[in-house]
Structure formats: structure tokens, C-alpha cells
């Protein structure tokens, strides 16, 4: 089990379509911790930590998003596990 952190910046029609709430629910279902928030540029930012394979599942989901969203692009950055998060939540 390789613990990692991933940061995704999602662009498209991703605000006002329950993207944050849906991401929170999916992250909790998968079992990763971290947060999701709206960005001032109209995108959504996700930071999550956990097992690399679980994070990969979340990244794949983020590329689709919830029904009603239109994901035009996702910038994905992998990093080291920090252990900073105990749960997954919507912030901001």
C-alpha cells in the first residue's frame, strides 16, 4: 500500500452542479481524506490523501464528475503523503 497525495484542478462547468458535494460523497465512499473547494477562476480544486489505487479511482471519477457537470480539463499533481487530513469535506 503506497500512501500518496493528489491535487486536481478541474475546469469546465463544475460550479453550481453539485460537484463539491458529489466529490465529497465519492471520496468518502472510496475511503480517502482531504477536501474540495470552489476556485475564484470558476474551477474546482480537490486535494486528497490515501492509498494510491484509491486516489486513482477518485481522479478517474473527477475526470467525469457528477451528472450535470461538464469537465473540460483536469490538472493532476501527485505528491507525498502528509497525514494532515482525518476526513474528507467541502471547504471554503
What positions carry a catalytic annotation? 20, 38
Distance CA 57, CA 83 (A): 19
3-class DSSP assignment, residue 54: helix
The runs of H, that is alpha helices, within 1-92 are: 19-30, 52-64
Amino acid at each position: 500500500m503506497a500512501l500518496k497525495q493528489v491535487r486536481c484542478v478541474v475546469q469546465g462547468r463544475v460550479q453550481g452542479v453539485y460537484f463539491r458535494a458529489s466529490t465529497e460523497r465519492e471520496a468518502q465512499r472510496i475511503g480517502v481524506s482531504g477536501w474540495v473547494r470552489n476556485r475564484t477562476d470558476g474551477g474546482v480544486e480537490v486535494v486528497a490523501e490515501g492509498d494510491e489505487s484509491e486516489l486513482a479511482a477518485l481522479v478517474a471519477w473527477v475526470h467525469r464528475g457528477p451528472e450535470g457537470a461538464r469537465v473540460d480539463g483536469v490538472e493532476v499533481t501527485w505528491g507525498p503523503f502528509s497525514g494532515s487530513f482525518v476526513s474528507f469535506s467541502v471547504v471554503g
